[in-house]
Amino acid sequence: METERVRMPTGFGSYLTPLGKRLLLVYGSIYVLELLFEHWLNIEIVSVLKLYPLSNLNFHFWQLITHPFIHNPNSPISFIISCIIFYFFAAPVEHAFGPKRFLFFFYTSALGGALSGLGFSFVADFNVPFLGMMPSLLSLIVIFGLLSPEATILLMFILPIKAKYLSYGTIIITFLTFLAKANPHGAYHLGGILFGYLYFRGLGEYFDFSLIRLKYSEWQVKRRKSRFTVIDGGKAEEDEDTPTYH
């Protein structure tokens, strides 16, 4: 998939799109409900919705869908940081993809992170539950750097750095911490980056349902044509009439 490069000004000049605002509103509302249920009503809902390793008896298939929408109720700061990252990087990537493709890209990264995490959940130090949208956020940072490599952003609001270096640094750090088993969620993060990158490079077209329907229709037409045979009809070779189809 060829994607037009996005030129961003020096520093953070991003703004939320209507889709971005709705997503942050959804995430914020869910997190407030988490805090109310967990800390005020003493009802544990996070333990049911987060994603457990396959070998854990608490694993359920619905957790593949629910885990990206919930965050650690004991760490509001990490949730706020996640929202800040989304605010600064979501808009330019959405402008490059378009709202529908952006939404599909964002949750393809989340699903890819989940599949990778479950795949490595049988490895020691990686068999831990997971929740949150960090795989999608890391994928956002990487793709932003690929879309606009020369854009300058302010790391920690102080240090100016080219987007491409932030992108490469995110990949390297995530990969090294995964190899060192320094991050128990490293497989989830790395999988999110990988699936986001594959979608960016064009493999997302294979998950485009409208394109799948179109290819299926083309296959049906070819299949019907294959049922026809060409008959000469016994005419002389010099006869220029076209063959007859039956």
The domains of the chain are located at 18-207
Residue 6 has pLDDT above 60, yes or no: no
DSSP string, the chain: ---------SS------HHHHHHHHHHHHHHHHHHIIIIIS----HHHHSBPPTTSTT--TTHHHHGGG---TT-HHHHHHHHHHHHHHHHHHHHHH-HHHHHHHHHHHHHHHHHHHHHTTTSTT----B-SSHHHHHHHHHHHHHHSTT-EEEETTTEEEEHHHHHHHHHHHHHHHHHTT--TTHHHHHHHHHHHHHHHTTGGGGG-HHHHHHHHHHHHHHHHHTT--EE-TT--TT--PPPEE-
Average pLDDT, the chain: 86
Tell me the pLDDT tens digit for each residue of 26-67: 999 999 999 999 999 999 999 999 999 999 999 999 999 999
Proportion of the chain above pLDDT 90, given as a percent? 70
More confident residue, 244 or 178: 178
pTM greater than 0.85 (yes/no):
no
> What is the fold of 18-207?
Rhomboid-like fold (1.20.1540)
Residue 210 has pLDDT above 60, yes or no: no
- The confidence score (pLDDT) of residue 237 equals 52
User: Which range has the worst mean pLDDT, 21-25, 66-70, 149-153, 195-199?
Assistant: 149-153
Is the alpha carbon torsion for 21, 22, 25, 31 positive or negative?
A: negative
- The confidence score (pLDDT) of residue 17 equals 94
- The confidence score (pLDDT) of residue 158 equals 81
CA–CA separation, 67 vs 63, rounded Å? Answer: 5
Provide the β-strand partners of residue 155.
159
Phi, psi of 208 (to 5 degrees): -85, 110
- The confidence score (pLDDT) of residue 202 equals 83
Residue 244 has pLDDT above 70, yes or no: no
Tell me the pLDDT tens digit for each residue of 156-206: 778 899 999 999 999 999 999 999 999 999 999 999 999 999 999 886 555
- The confidence score (pLDDT) of residue 10 equals 36
- The confidence score (pLDDT) of residue 14 equals 56
